[in-house]
């Protein structure tokens, strides 16, 4: 059966980069289809995507429009007093009450925590950019193909300080203790960006270079030599969506 996935878009790619890399929903679609088609034929599923411009106030009219929802990253802080953020928080609460499947990435990770009783704020370490290694808690590795650690690209100066009540903290980086969470069998969140590829990340870091401390920028550019595990993470997302 086809699985309908709603992508709740909460930011736009910078105009200087969008012609080369596309918008965030396209990045998610490309990643998930790549991960899907990298599997044996008998394990592949049909994924159908719909984008909602949630940062412009557009949300699904009914929960049943989609089997699952993905909330993208955003340069906006979840704590900002904006009507669309408050509306999206209420929608997350409704999704949670109905136990609809939701995957949150970066801003989505943070907003889910905030909407459900946790806390997101400025990270005490400041900007976190580049390839970071998240280590899974020992109790969780069996749930994720026996993987003990995974690398993703990061780009954030806010992070979850307190997870939502009932959440399981699945993985942590040295500077981001709450880097991956689950809540029940219906919410999965990541602080890192599986949808980013290295070319986009490098272009984004270069575009924003003036806002980063120079040593942090240099470290991020060097880290791009490391491998990233976006396909493994995307396959976890597919498994979660289709469970």
Domains and CATH numbers, the chain: 2-242 (3.40.50.880)
Average pLDDT over residues 139-161: 87
Average pLDDT over residues 204-232: 97
Q: What is the pLDDT of residue 139?
A: 72
Q: What is the pLDDT of residue 167?
A: 96
Burial of 175 (0-12, 13-18, 19+ CB in 10 A): middle
Task: Provide the pLDDT confidence category of residue 155 given band limits of 50, 70 and 90.
Answer: very high
Kindly state the DSSP code that residue 50 receives in the 8-state scheme: E
Q: What is the pLDDT of residue 1?
A: 83
- In whole angstroms, what is the distance from residue 237 CA to residue 3 CA? 13
Task: Provide the pLDDT confidence category of residue 138 given band limits of 50, 70 and 90.
Answer: confident
This prediction has a pTM of: 0.96
Proportion of the chain above pLDDT 90, given as a percent: 94
Find tokens 């200087």 and name the residue.
16
- In whole angstroms, what is the distance from residue 189 CA to residue 166 CA? 14
- In whole angstroms, what is the distance from residue 143 CA to residue 110 CA? 23
Task: Provide the pLDDT confidence category of residue 198 given band limits of 50, 70 and 90.
Answer: very high
State the virtual CA torsion across 69, 75, 81, 85 in degrees, nearest 10: -10
Instruction: Say yes or no to pLDDT of 141 above 60.
Output: no
Task: Provide the pLDDT confidence category of residue 140 given band limits of 50, 70 and 90.
Answer: low
Q: Are 9 and 58 in contact (CB under 8 A)?
A: no
Instruction: Say yes or no to pLDDT of 151 above 90.
Output: yes
State the virtual CA torsion across 12, 85, 237, 52 in degrees, nearest 10: -60
Rg of the chain on CA atoms, in Å = 17
Q: What is the pLDDT of residue 142?
A: 61
Q: What is the pLDDT of residue 137?
A: 87
* Three-state DSSP state, 94: helix
Instruction: Say yes or no to pLDDT of 177 above 80.
Output: yes
**What phi and psi values does residue 158 have, to the nearest 5 degrees?**
-110, 155
CA-closest candidate to residue 196, choices 166, 158, 156, 164: 156
- In whole angstroms, what is the distance from residue 162 CA to residue 217 CA? 27
For 143, the token pair is 């749930």
Burial of 212 (0-12, 13-18, 19+ CB in 10 A): middle
- In whole angstroms, what is the distance from residue 160 CA to residue 194 CA? 18
């Amino acid at each position: 059966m086809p699985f309908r996935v709603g992508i709740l878009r909460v930011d736009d790619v910078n105009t200087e980069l969008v012609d080369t890399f596309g918008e965030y929903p396209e990045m998610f679609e490309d990643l998930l289809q790549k991960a899907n088609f990298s599997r044996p034929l008998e394990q592949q599923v049909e994924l159908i995507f719909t984008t909602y411009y949630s940062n412009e106030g557009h949300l699904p009219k009914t929960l049943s429009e989609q089997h699952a929802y993905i909330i993208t990253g955003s340069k906006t802080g979840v704590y900002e007093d904006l009507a669309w953020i408050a509306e999206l928080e209420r929608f997350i609460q409704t999704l949670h009450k109905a136990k609809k499947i939701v995957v949150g990435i970066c801003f989505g990770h943070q907003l889910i925590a905030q909407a459900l009783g946790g806390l997101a704020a400025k990270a005490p370490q400041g900007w976190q950019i580049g390839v970071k290694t998240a280590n899974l808690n020992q109790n969780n590795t069996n749930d994720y193909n026996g993987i003990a650690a995974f690398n993703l690209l990061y780009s954030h100066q806010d992070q979850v300080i307190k997870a939502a009540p009932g959440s399981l903290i699945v993985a942590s980086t040295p500077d981001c203790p709450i880097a991956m969470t689950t809540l029940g069998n219906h919410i999965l969140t990541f602080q890192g960006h599986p949808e980013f590829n290295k070319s986009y990340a490098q272009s984004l870091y270069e575009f924003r270079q003036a806002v980063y401390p120079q040593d942090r920028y240099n470290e991020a550019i060097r880290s791009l030599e490391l491998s990233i595990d976006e396909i493994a993470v995307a396959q976890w997302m597919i498994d979660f969506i289709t469970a």
